[in-house]
Amino acid sequence: MAFLVDVVAVNDRAYEEANPLRRFERELWRRVMKARLPTNHFSYKVGAERIGEKPRLLLPRDHRWEILFDENFDNFLKWAIVQPDTPIGLHRKTEEIDVTFWYTPGQQFGGGSYSSYRESSSMTKNPILNALKRKKDQLKASGYAGIKGIIVCDAGCKQLSATERIVQRFLRDTTSIAFVIVCTIDGDRFSHAPIRVRARAFPNPRVTSEEVARNLKTLFERRFTSVLPDATDDITNALNHLQGKHRASAWVTMVDGVLGETSTCEFHLAPFTNSLPGRCLAMPS
């Protein structure tokens, strides 16, 4: 069984850009530490609104942090300095922002609460379906007439943990893609067990026979994952290590996918220091 497969890494970058929570946290804790106050005594809550099928956190847009961290916030910190044993709160709300801060003396841990924003209830407007459509077009342009598939790898995409309905929706509308493989990570850096790749195969019933579907599931869900090395880190930490560096590894590879000979393909996945030996017959520029 031979096939052409393209690999795509899916992330939540668009959600993060629309909801600058991490930048907000850095700005908050930087100011608290500059005031020489204990960060564990502070907490926050960010309000949200729903735009269509996507949530949006009510935080300043375009790095305009002066809207939130203004004179009112400075006075909030000054109060915590002059009255260190007295709790106090500050609620900032306008048409654009909705954030509440608390200073709680004796609180053991700092942190915050906010609505889940890294997901969409839409089956047609989400990072997984967008990536699948892009790869479908690239594979069609290759001119390869045989079986074609897409491998989706987790590069920090929350919806990949429950992606079956999205993938099935994609396969329902195409006959050019015979299968989709979704690769996620089992385990994290805090667990004592090895961090392993988990692969789920989704054959397209409109294109593949029952025998081909069984072979694809056996190849990717059992044999492919069994020869991959343990991950050296989880997705979150791997992305932190790569932050600020643009690394893409979307390879178009012709795989002689004879069952039992998985060493004929080479995959580069972000969390791994090693890759399978093999050959790449075609790689896009």
Q: What is the pLDDT of residues 95-151, one digit of tens each?
A: 899 999 999 999 989 889 988 776 666 666 788 888 999 999 999 898 888 899 999
Average pLDDT over residues 47-75: 88
For 98, counting Cβ atoms within 10 Å of its Cβ (0-12 exposed, 13-18 middle, 19+ buried), the class is middle
- Residue 76 phi/psi, 5° resolution? -60, -45
Task: Identify whether residues 67 and 199 lie together within a single domain.
Answer: no
Domain match, 180 and 218 both? yes
The reply to whether 185 and 208 lie within a common domain is yes
- Classify strands 147-154 and 179-186 as parallel, antiparallel or unpaired: parallel
User: Domain for residue 270, yes or no?
Assistant: no
Task: Note whether 75 and 27 are same-domain residues.
Answer: yes
Q: Is the domain of 136 the same as that of 88? A: no
**Best-predicted range by mean pLDDT among 48-52, 141-145, 183-187, 257-261?**
141-145
Q: Judge if 84 and 195 occupy the same domain.
A: no
Does residue 135 form part of some domain?
yes
Q: Of the ranges 9-13, 80-84, 131-135, which one carries the lowest mean pLDDT score?
A: 9-13
Of all residues in the chain, what percent carry a pLDDT higher than 70? 78
Rounded to the nearest integer, the mean pLDDT of the chain is 79
* Count: domains in the chain: 2
Q: Dump pLDDT digits (tens) for 50-59.
A: 876 677 889 9
Confidence at residue 239, expressed as pLDDT on a 0 to 100 scale: 64
Does residue 108 sit in the same domain as residue 128?
A: no
Which domain covers residue 215, as residue numbers? Answer: 3-14+119-264
Tell whether 102 is covered by a domain.
Answer: yes
Q: What are phi and psi of 237, to 5 degrees?
A: -70, -35
